[in-house]
Amino acid sequence: MRHRLLVSLVIAGTLLAINNLHAEEIKIGMLYPITGGGAIYGSPAQIGHRMGVEEINLDGGLLGLQAISVERDTKLNPATAAAAAKEMITKDGVHVLIGGLSSSVGLAVSEVARQEKVIYIATIAKTIQMTTNKRHNYVFRTASHTDFEGDAMAQIAEKLNAKSICDIQLDYAYGHDLAAGIEKGLARHLPDTKIVLSLRPKLRATDYNVFITQIMGAGCDVVTGGLWGPHFVDFAKQATPFGLFQQIKFIAGGEIGSHEIASTMGRDYPDNVWANSYELWYHHPNEEHKKFHSKLSAQLGTHETTMWPVLAVIGVRMYAAAVKQAGSLDPDLVAEALRGMSIDTPVGPRTIDPTTHQTDTGQFWGPMVKKEGAPYRVMDPITYIPALLSE
């Protein structure tokens, strides 16, 4: 009788354990703006995030558990993002936070991750602070940062043999940090070249006429700018009639070489622009990119695809690789695994620096040219500038 009871208890316990194992899931938290002004970047990133989670499950899950995506809209507001991050941790029990578009949202989510001791992987936010003075045990970044971008812009300026530079940056965190990154880059690559004019139009500015005339009168041969998204579109439309792009070469950071900007501007995209992008649908740096592009293209229903999904996929893959290596969901063990973690991605291999927690994410750079058969201006030739602060 006692023996039968013991066997029954063992069976019941095993069934309960199996049941619990099936009930438990790995919850991958996603934080992107999916409404409002940031949605044009956040919604494609959301697609990428889901693709990353799907990849994990197709691969048999993590530690034998299925992954699910828990998603929140940050509305591009740091206070909203911080509250959402806390809610995802305390209510939904997410194991990791991935995402964050703007620098302020990235820093706010990072602060929550620090308090709650949960891993946060920043996939888009570029502020240098996240991996320098605001770095902590649980924050990692797979995006590039302003020092890398500034250094790449200085390298292009060196190629273009720039003698004097006009710098135009938006008057907020990213603009200020990128300006500092360019200065550091110039000190490395073109120490004799001077920035003769620094301009700071305000964020969401639409009228650039006063800045355009200042640039044209300053006598610079190269302009460096971090006017991302609609800022560059407005600037270019207003500067073209003045002949600015015929007289001065423009090195544009802020992913102005991406599909989003090139397709939006179409015929209005100016000459003499050297721009960057994290990913280009028409450029396959490896075999995996072809497959990734086909899959994304099928999901979006267009042959031309945006670059934001790949950033989100990289964030999810990095976490999955770390969990596999750690063999645990414990944030401290996963953080340990993330330090120095290397993975393959559709845009090449990526490694996290064990000290700074920053991934060596470089970008594709090149002049934007008209090309036979291309629907809009494309980058050609394409150069991958790695994330190295070379001397």
Binding site for other proteins (CB under 8 A): 34-35, 72-73, 77-80, 82-84, 86-87, 90-91, 102-104, 107-108, 110-111, 114-115, 127, 129, 134, 171-174, 176, 203
Angle between helices 308-326 and 39-58 (to 10 degrees): 40
In the bound complex, what is the minimum distance in angstroms from residue 85's beta carbon to other proteins?
A: 10
- The type of residue at 31 is L
- Considering beta carbons, is residue 111 or 158 the nearer one to other proteins? 111
- Considering beta carbons, is residue 159 or 202 the nearer one to other proteins? 202
In the bound complex, what is the minimum distance in angstroms from residue 134's beta carbon to other proteins?
A: 6
| Residue 241 to residues 210, 227, 262, 263, Cα–Cα distance (Å) | 14, 19, 19, 20
- Considering beta carbons, is residue 104 or 306 the nearer one to other proteins? 104
In the bound complex, what is the minimum distance in angstroms from residue 79's beta carbon to other proteins?
A: 5
- Considering beta carbons, is residue 85 or 215 the nearer one to other proteins? 85
In the bound complex, what is the minimum distance in angstroms from residue 314's beta carbon to other proteins?
A: 23
User: Is the separation of the CB atoms in 181 and 169 below 8 Å?
Assistant: no
- Considering beta carbons, is residue 77 or 359 the nearer one to other proteins? 77
In the bound complex, what is the minimum distance in angstroms from residue 151's beta carbon to other proteins?
A: 21
- Considering beta carbons, is residue 63 or 203 the nearer one to other proteins? 203
Displacement of CA 300 from its chain's centroid (Å)? 19
- The values of phi and psi at residue 381, to 5°, are -75, 155
Tell me the C-alpha distance between 74 and 85, whole Å: 9
- Considering beta carbons, is residue 32 or 365 the nearer one to other proteins? 32
Cis peptide before 381 (omega within 30 of 0): yes
Tell me the C-alpha distance between 345 and 315, whole Å: 10
In the bound complex, what is the minimum distance in angstroms from residue 105's beta carbon to other proteins?
A: 9
- Considering beta carbons, is residue 170 or 296 the nearer one to other proteins? 170
Q: Which of 118, 66, 49, 43 is nearest to 88 (CA)?
A: 118
Tell me the C-alpha distance between 335 and 309, whole Å: 24
- Considering beta carbons, is residue 46 or 361 the nearer one to other proteins? 46
In the bound complex, what is the minimum distance in angstroms from residue 220's beta carbon to other proteins?
A: 26
In the bound complex, what is the minimum distance in angstroms from residue 206's beta carbon to other proteins?
A: 18
In the bound complex, what is the minimum distance in angstroms from residue 106's beta carbon to other proteins?
A: 9
Tell me the C-alpha distance between 350 and 243, whole Å: 40
The CB-side HSE value for 197 (13 A sphere, CA atoms) comes to 19
Tell me the C-alpha distance between 298 and 51, whole Å: 12
Strands of the chain, DSSP E:
26-32, 67-73, 96-99, 119-122, 139-141, 164-168, 194-199, 222-225, 249-252, 273-277, 342-343, 350-351, 363-369, 378-379, 383-385
